[in-house]
């Protein structure tokens, strides 16, 4: 599973990081710090919950990658 994030559209709500700071690290200004994440085994549910928590819907989870 892979996560892709459109960093340019992040407005800093940090709801994804509230679900999993490990999967969705923030920079010093509170915006998402990464554009692509390989989801470690066992973190799939947190990845899906983090994506659903984003009000801007800029987080896409790609299954089976």
User: 2-29: per-residue pLDDT in tens?
Assistant: 999 999 999 999 999 999 999 999 999 9
**pTM score:** 0.89
Answer whether residue 49 shows pLDDT above 60: yes
Write the class of the CATH domain 2-62: alpha beta
DSSP 8: G
Q: Using the structure block, give the residue that is written with the tokens 């999967």.
A: 23
- Span of 1-10, 14-23, 45-54, 56-65 with lowest mean pLDDT: 56-65
Strand order in the sheet with 2-5: 36-38, 2-5, 59-62
Q: Binning pLDDT at 50, 70 and 90, where does residue 37 land?
A: very high
Q: Is residue 49 a contact partner of residue 1, using CB atoms and an 8 Å limit?
A: no
């Amino acid at each position: 599973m892979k996560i892709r994030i459109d960093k340019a559209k992040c407005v800093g709500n940090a709801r994804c990081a509230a679900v999993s700071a490990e999967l969705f690290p923030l920079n010093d200004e509170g915006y998402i710090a990464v554009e692509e994440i390989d989801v470690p085994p066992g973190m799939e549910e947190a990845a899906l919950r983090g994506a659903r928590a984003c009000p801007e819907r800029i987080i896409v989870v790609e299954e089976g990658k």
